[in-house]
Amino acid sequence: MSVLIIFKLLGSLALLMFGMKSMSDSLQKLAGPQLRHVLGAMTTNRFTGVLTGMLVTASVQSSTATTVMTVSFVNAGLLTLAQAISVIMGANIGTTLTAWIMSAGFSFNISDFVYPAFLLGIVLIYMKKYRIIGDFIFGLSFLLLGLGTLRATGIEMNLGNNPSVLAFFSSFDPDSFLTTLTFLLLGGVLTFCVQSSAAVMAITMILCSTGALPIYQGIALVMGENIGTTITSNLAALSANTQARRAALAHLFFNVFGVVWALIFFRPFINLVCDIVGIDPSAQSQSPIRLSFALAMFHTLFNVINTAILIGFIPQIERIVCWVIKSKEKETDNNEFKLRYIQGGIMRTPEIAVLQAQREVGVYSNQTQNMFSLVVKMLDETDSTNAEKAFEYINKLEDQSDKMEIEIAHYLEDVSNYHLSDESKAKVRAMIRMISEIESVGDSCFNLARTLRHYHTTKEKFTAEQVENVRRMMSLVTESLTELNAMMSVEREHLSIDRIAELEEEINSLRNNLKDKNIADVDNHVYSYRISTMYIDLISECEKLADYIVNVAEARMMLYKTI
């Protein structure tokens, strides 16, 4: 019988964790794009940043998702590190909603409500239009079923009257500071091991509500849970970039600071919480419902007070984390291939991964413009040695371009294996087309550089008119690339492909005119056939490049139509 109870306990925790994850994923799919716009628009100062982090985390039920989203915005230059710290503070407040949901689940028998919810959820899932809402209800149902089973299992275990359990907890001196530190450490270790602060909170509520664990030790476990959840994110960010590690360290600093002052005022603070809830912390017999509410109340007050204390010291926190984690020189080395926003090690959710991929595609597009600017300089180069160096650098950038396409494509393939919303699936398809066309732009830049390299090794040179014509063509392509990269960050209501289409028509017309004139010039012996082939190769390759730019822009338009 004891083995069966243990399996019921572990199984109910698994149901709870699965329900939390399913609910969080569906909420992100349901409101992800809007939440990303809110996160970017509402962080004008530290107070709105805290409010934004709180609302977003309460909406998606995942402080990890909010933190990862915030880090990606910092990397994209849409948020400063100081703004990100304020959002992370708000995320700590928003995540306390989970404890209140659990305490409500311990308040009454929720099994009667779970099965109708399952029925409603499966009906909505089969109605394709409302599938995401159905996924959310299904996840919530699993969460509530896990809580209900956990509550019933706790009652069945009768921990409050189990001599072994009571003897174990009574072996700790309730008035000892060492006991508080022991349970704090235990809470941190448990959270790190099970990778779920919700599961540890549920276990704590079971132990306290059955009378097995005194409220003081239960709250020490909750404090340890706050530390444990930040250790996970810091370990995950070890292989990530500097800004990600700084944000994770700021999260750790926030919670460690909170635990320190909470330990200093431990007894008075808990007594205040118990007074608010209406229980006597020293009484032997307590209301299970009120005990679970006391844990939720502590979790909320702890994070609210901690935020109120630290919100005025965000610049100082920023300086501390920047001092501890210094920028690596290799991260700013443009010659080294490394993706900027798609980082290994950071905990991600599929919807946030799509956002990171969008940022990386923007970087990819910018790199091709840098390649083309080098091609333009190569045209005007008079020293063949310098021209050779420029070609070698373009060749290296083209090799990086190929690697970027492969890495981003693999990343998008991995993301597409998850259960994404229809909008995100459309975005993935659009981005796959974009990176393919951007890679073609890079190939065209390399082809132009190769032709110019050959040109600089010949004795015969272009006429002044030919040079001017190639410059004119490259100027139009440069403008088209500039318009394309502006599209990568522009708000969707201002998105337009019109100017790129106009430039493509101008380039086509110029190409046709120059090809016709080239035939006439060769017939009139203005220049040799050999130099004319290099001249037309440059003109034709520029026209191909412009076509690829139009293809990328069209895919970008499709990407924004899904938002």
Contact between residue 378 and residue 446 where contact means Cβ atoms under 8 Å apart:
no
**CB distance 244 to 71 below 8 Å:** yes
Coil/strand/helix, residue 155 = helix
Q: Which pLDDT belongs to residue 343?
A: 58
Rounded to 5°, angle at Cα 335 from 329 and 340:
70
Angle at which helix 350-380 crosses helix 2-41, to 10 degrees, equals 40
Q: Is 324 helix (H, G, I), strand (E, B) or coil?
A: helix
Q: Which of 17, 64, 362, 57 is nearest to 237 (CA)?
A: 64
The answer to whether the beta carbons of residues 488 and 556 sit under 8 Å apart is yes
Other Cβ atoms less than 10 A from the Cβ of 17: the count is 19
Dist. CA 77–CA 265, nearest whole Å: 40
Q: Coil, strand, or helix at residue 562?
A: coil
What sign results for the dihedral spanned by CA atoms 263, 265, 268, 270?
negative
Domain positions in the chain are 2-324, 350-561
Q: Which residues contact 517 (CB under 8 A, 6 or more apart)?
A: none
Report the distance separating Cα 67 and Cα 191, nearest Å. 18
Q: Where are the alpha helices (DSSP H) in 339-421?
A: 350-380, 384-416
Six-digit token string for 548: 């690829």
**Consecutive 10-residue averages of pLDDT for the chain (563 residues):** 73 78 70 58 70 74 64 62 85 82 69 80 83 82 78 68 70 81 87 74 79 84 84 66 78 90 90 86 69 87 92 90 76 53 56 76 89 91 86 90 88 79 82 92 94 89 92 94 83 73 94 93 90 93 94 84 50
How many residues are recorded in the chain?
563
CB 317 within 8 A of CB 310: yes
User: What is residue 335's predicted lDDT score, i.e. its pLDDT?
Assistant: 45
For position 494, what pLDDT does the model report?
62
C-alpha 296/C-alpha 277 separation (Å) is 10
Cα separation, 438 vs 277, in Å, equals: 60
- For 367, what's the count of Cα atoms within 13 Å in the CB-facing half-sphere? 33
The span from the first CA to the last CA of the chain, in angstroms, equals 53
Cα 342 from Cα 3, distance rounded (Å): 44
The model's pTM: 0.65
Q: How far is CA 311 from the centre of its chain?
A: 23
pLDDT at residue 92, rounded to an integer: 85
Q: Closest Cα partner for 199 from 26, 14, 460, 467? A: 14
Interhelix angle 464-487/498-523, nearest 10 degrees: 160
Exposed / middle / buried, residue 90 (Cβ in 10 Å: 0-12, 13-18, 19+): buried
pLDDT of the residue at 304: 93
Judge contact between 417 and 358, C-beta under 8 A: no
In the chain, the amino acid numbered 349 is T
CATH architecture label of 350-561: Up-down Bundle (1.20)
- Work out whether the CA dihedral 315, 247, 25, 150 comes out positive or negative: negative
* Other Cβ atoms closer than 10 A to 174: 14
Angle at 530 between CA 524 and CA 536, to 5 degrees: 85
Kind and range of the H or E element at 122? helix 111-126
Strand (E) or helix (H) holding 149: helix 131-157
